[in-house]
């Protein structure tokens, strides 16, 4: 008898055949969802699974509504999203969650799913960054200020976590584009400015002051 149950909503990347091979080495029963994802939403916290894998590479799933429905239940959520959607991806705070892009390797997907299924007894201290009233959980992509979750897109989170884990150093816009967005990102430096402005607004006045603009040089995080 398997110790865990994985329910898979298939799509362009995770097909039924792919799901069977992807999770073959895990001690888990794999069931392919044949009904629409709306049925899972209607079941909500009563969903009989330890992990729900959703291939949302077509962008049709209402992720926020799905996460809200799963709140309070036992199922963690793993998303597979199109690479082009990562910049605007919002990660719900209500459930244990991770994601991978459609171009991720099978090994990466398996590793991320294993961490959701068998998270261990506690999260390591190294997974947390504390600055003033803000806490960043590097393992779950969650950010809280004064105990309240902050609604960030993934790229806003990525920029914040990079700067907060490299305090006291000035980074130019070009370096941030390379380190946070990746070498293959062709957006202009204005992209960084826009994300910094949004971050400051969402973090609030107290925490926004830690993210300084250094005229003619770039941005600096000060603890």
Query: What tens digit of pLDDT does each residue of 43-53 get?
Result: 888 888 999 99
Lowest mean pLDDT among 12-26, 104-118, 178-192, 207-221: 178-192
Distance CA 63, CA 60 (A): 9
pLDDT in the model for residue 208: 96
pLDDT in the model for residue 43: 85
Q: Exposure pattern of 92-122 as b/e (b: 16+ CB <10 Å)?
A: bbebbbbbbbbebeeeebbebbbbbbeeeee
| Residues 31 and 77 both lie in one domain | yes
| Residues 175 and 101 both lie in one domain | no
pLDDT in the model for residue 121: 45
Residue 161: CATH number of its domain = 1.10.10.10
> What's the whole-number mean pLDDT along residues 169-180?
90
In the chain, how many domains are there? 2
Q: What is the residue range of 208's domain?
A: 152-221
Cβ(76)–Cβ(52) below 8 Å: yes
Cβ count within 10 A of residue 17: 10
| Residues 169 and 108 both lie in one domain | no
Tokens at 221, concatenated: 């995080």
pLDDT in the model for residue 7: 94
172 within domain boundaries? yes
Which residues are 9's β-sheet partners? Answer: 54
Closest CA to 84 of 113, 53, 109, 59: 59
Query: What tens digit of pLDDT does each residue of 73-118 get?
Result: 889 999 999 988 887 888 777 788 889 999 888 988 998 898 889 8
pLDDT in the model for residue 77: 93
122 within domain boundaries? no
Q: Exposure pattern of 167-198 as b/e (b: 16+ CB <10 Å)?
A: eeeebebeebbeebbeeeeeeeeebbeebbee
Q: DSSP per residue over 42-99, as a string? A: HHGGG---SEEEEEETTS-S-HHHHHHHHTTSS-EEEEEE-GGGGGG-B--SSS-EEE
Distance CA 84, CA 181 (A): 12
| Residues 74 and 17 both lie in one domain | yes
Distance CA 160, CA 200 (A): 10
| Residues 156 and 89 both lie in one domain | no
136 within domain boundaries? no
Cβ(106)–Cβ(80) below 8 Å: no
Residue 75: CATH number of its domain = 3.40.50.2300
81 within domain boundaries? yes
> What's the whole-number mean pLDDT along residues 161-180?
91
What confidence tier does 218 reach under pLDDT thresholds 50, 70, 90?
very high
| Residues 102 and 156 both lie in one domain | no
What confidence tier does 13 reach under pLDDT thresholds 50, 70, 90?
very high
| Residues 10 and 113 both lie in one domain | yes
CB-count burial class (<10 Å; 0-12, 13-18, 19+) for 84: exposed
Tokens at 153, concatenated: 């897109």
pLDDT in the model for residue 183: 59
> What's the whole-number mean pLDDT along residues 136-145?
87
Cβ(95)–Cβ(77) below 8 Å: yes
Task: Name every residue whose Cβ is closer than 8 Å to that of residue 16 and which is 6 or more positions away in sequence.
Answer: 8, 10, 32
> What's the whole-number mean pLDDT along residues 148-162?
91
| Residues 164 and 74 both lie in one domain | no
Of residues 27 and 126, which shows the higher confidence score? 27
């Amino acid at each position: 008898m398997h110790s865990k149950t994985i329910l898979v909503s298939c799509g362009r990347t995770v097909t039924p055949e792919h799901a069977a091979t992807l999770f073959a080495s895990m001690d888990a029963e794999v069931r392919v969802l044949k009904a629409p994802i709306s049925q899972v939403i209607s079941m909500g916290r009563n969903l009989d699974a330890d992990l729900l894998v959703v291939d949302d590479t077509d962008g049709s799933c209402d992720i926020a509504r799905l996460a809200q429905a799963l709140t309070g239940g036992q199922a963690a959520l793993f998303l597979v999203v199109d690479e082009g959607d990562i910049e605007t991806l919002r990660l719900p705070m209500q459930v244990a969650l991770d994601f991978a892009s459609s171009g991720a390797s099978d090994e990466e997907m398996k590793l991320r799913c294993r961490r959701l299924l068998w998270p261990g007894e506690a999260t390591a201290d190294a997974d947390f960054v504390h600055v003033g009233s803000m806490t960043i959980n590097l393992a779950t992509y969650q950010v809280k200020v004064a105990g309240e979750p902050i609604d960030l897109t993934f790229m806003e989170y990525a920029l914040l976590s990079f700067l907060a884990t490299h305090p006291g150093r000035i980074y130019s816009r070009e370096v941030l584009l390379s380190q946070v967005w990746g070498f293959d990102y062709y957006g202009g430096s204005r992209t960084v400015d826009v994300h910094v402005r949004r971050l400051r607004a969402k973090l609030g006045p107290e925490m926004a002051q830690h993210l300084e603009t250094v005229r003619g040089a770039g941005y600096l995080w000060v603890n």
